Amino acid sequence: MIGDDGHSQSRAREVGSAIYTIARNELLLQTRYRTKFLLDLFSPVLALAPIMLTAYFLTSGRESGNLAQSVGLPDHFTFIMLGYMAFAALGVGNPIMHYTGSAWTMRMLQETGVLERNLLAPMPREALILGTGLYYAVLYLFHVAYVLAASLIFLDLDFALTASGIAVAGGILIAMSLMAILLGFLMSAVSLVMRDGSVALLVIHRPFLLLTGAYFLVELLPQPFRFLAMVNPLAYAIDAFRGSLSSSTLLLPLAVECFIVIVSTVLIGIVGIWVFRRILDRQLRTGELSIY
Amino acid sequence: MLMEVITTAKYGLISDRRSYGWILTTTIGPFFLMAPFVLMAESLVGPGGRFNEPFFEATGYSNYLGWLIIPLIALNTMNTVFSNVSQSLHAQKTFGTLERILVSMQYPSSLLIGRCISHGTFLLWFVGVLAGLSFLFLGLEVNVNAVSAVVVIAGHLLAVYGMAFAFASMFLWIEDAFIVQTALSRVVFGLFTGATFPLSIYPDWVEWLARLIPFTWAFDLERRAFLLAEPLPSIAPDLSILLGLTLVWWIIGYGCFRIMLNYSKRKGRLGIY
């Protein structure tokens, strides 16, 4: 038994080391394209600028009569920034960032013909996604950190900070980072099947911008999008993050939203890994894995 | 040159038919980018614009949804044009066929013009779907003067293709230019053309610089043609400025492309590998 434990510990260390190596490799790869890397780092600011300026113009300032009436949070900068921070942790749908995420990495490995070779390495195949996912999760958390810091320093947001609220917000951010990594399995599977990285963008990235209500009221969504947003766990994750740092949540009570976030993270992981394995096995069997 | 352009356009249509994914992505994807912006506006000023008095004062338009949606459709259309023209060069560069193609062409610019023509057929579909989805889900209402609308769209597209030429030159110069082009077309044009807020919120010198971008005039003209139904004589002065700036951008774009192409040939930067 002691031997088994030692073996499993050493195996876990090997897998951990492989994930770290892949994440580091992704970082080295990304830094080779300096312009893209620089824009990847600061894309949330670029994406936020037109949103904030439009919001400022529409209300001739920072106070929105409609938000005050329907949410009880008149400062729209707080409403938008908190939603956007949570959204940034997921890293999906940012229109400035391109060719990012596990799906793009898989696509690139497939295009350059090294995917099959990488899968021969003595490590679980899932480590490939977990490694690239880890790199992107760190990048997205960096986005959240500096958007939060800039908001606190320059924007004087109307936070309702409590110790428990900060703890919940931190927990939700971790859950969302996990979600982002696990969603990578689904996105990679879509990318492998469709043989087109842009389809993952269509199926997963783009709709999330609309179906999460990151910086607008979900109740204003027309059907069928409102229904899709209401069954989208990411909408609850964003609302829970905003609710934990402001006064209240919009969709459901905070505790229920946290429960939904935890359950959906586990489910996304189970379904994502299962689908990814199935598709990878099939493509390895049929020889569809390489493009050429 | 005409034969080269037609051949490239035909090749573009054939190669586009081989992959349907991008059609789906560029057809529905922009709606997912545009709709949150419009819904954000609605969240702030209330459904039906209950709280948008300051908006009336600033712009004189009553239809605030249309005021946002019309330039947003145009902005997304511009982005797809820039992507297509630039990507056609980038793809050739990545696959290593750019040098070969340019050797067989007497006029290198026909590579871009041909691609533009083949992509033009897709633009009709793209704009139609985006406008249709906006009518259906975002409550877009228009009051159009058809003649003004057609002339303004034609002028706008000419400006877009002139600038696309300049962007294509950038692809010969910068290895990972796609992200720069995206940032330029989504951020710079989003911030400095008055697409979603008036330029009057900036200092005078920024506003002056922004007016050198043809799309600043194009968006304004499109709003006037599509929302206020202004007749052609009424928009003619601003339209002539748009056409003048378009001409300047075509000259800049064509000149840049020639210079960068010669430079890339000399330095051996036409292929990525």
B21 CB neighbours in chain A (<8 A) are 194-196, 198-199, 202
Three-state SS letters, chain B: CHHHHHHHHHHHHHHHHCCCHHHHHHHHHHHHHHHHHHHHHHHHHCCCCCCCHHHHHHHCCCCHHHHHHHHHHHHHHHHHHHHHHHHHHHHHHHHCCHHHHHHHCCCCHHHHHHHHHHHHHHHHHHHHHHHHHHHHHCCCCCCCCHHHHHHHHHHHHHHHHHHHHHHHHHHHHCCCHHHHHHHHHHHHHHHCCCCCCCHHHCCHHHHHHHCCCHHHHHHHHHHHHHHCCCCHHHHHHHHHHHHHHHHHHHHHHHHHHHHHHHHHHHHCCCCCC
A53 CB neighbours in chain B (<8 A) are 191, 196-197, 201
Closest chain A residue to B54, measured at CA = A60
Task: Select the more confidently predicted residue: A66 or A259.
Answer: A259
What is the value of pTM for the model shown? 0.83
Closest chain A residue to B138, measured at CA = A222
Average pLDDT over residues A246-251: 80
CA angle B157, B163, B165 (to 5 degrees): 105
> In this model, does residue A282 exceed pLDDT 90?
no
Residues B143-196 have pLDDT tens digits of 888 999 999 998 998 888 888 877 777 777 776 667 777 777 778 888 898 888
Q: Is the minimum CB–CB distance between B187 and chain A shorter than 8 Å?
A: yes
Q: What is the mean pLDDT of chain A?
A: 82
Residues B190-239 have pLDDT tens digits of 889 888 888 888 888 998 999 988 999 999 999 989 988 888 999 999 99
In the numeric block, the tokens 């991008």 are attached to B22
Q: Which of A56, A57, A98 sits opposite B182 (nearest CB)?
A: A98
pLDDT band of A67, cuts 50, 70, 90: confident
Q: Which of A57, A96, A195 sits opposite B198 (nearest CB)?
A: A57
Q: Which of A66, A194, A217 sits opposite B50 (nearest CB)?
A: A66
Mark yes or no for CB contact B58/A57 under 8 Å: yes
ipTM reported for the complex, 2 dp: 0.82
Q: Is the minimum CB–CB distance between B197 and chain A shorter than 8 Å?
A: yes
Task: Select the more confidently predicted residue: A171 or A46.
Answer: A171
Mark yes or no for CB contact B187/A46 under 8 Å: yes
The predicted pLDDT at position B50 comes to: 65
A78 CB neighbours in chain B (<8 A) are none
Q: Is the minimum CB–CB distance between B96 and chain A shorter than 8 Å?
A: no
Q: Is the minimum CB–CB distance between A62 and chain B shorter than 8 Å?
A: no
Closest chain B residue to A204, measured at CA = B29
B28 CB neighbours in chain A (<8 A) are 202, 206
Mark yes or no for CB contact A196/B180 under 8 Å: no
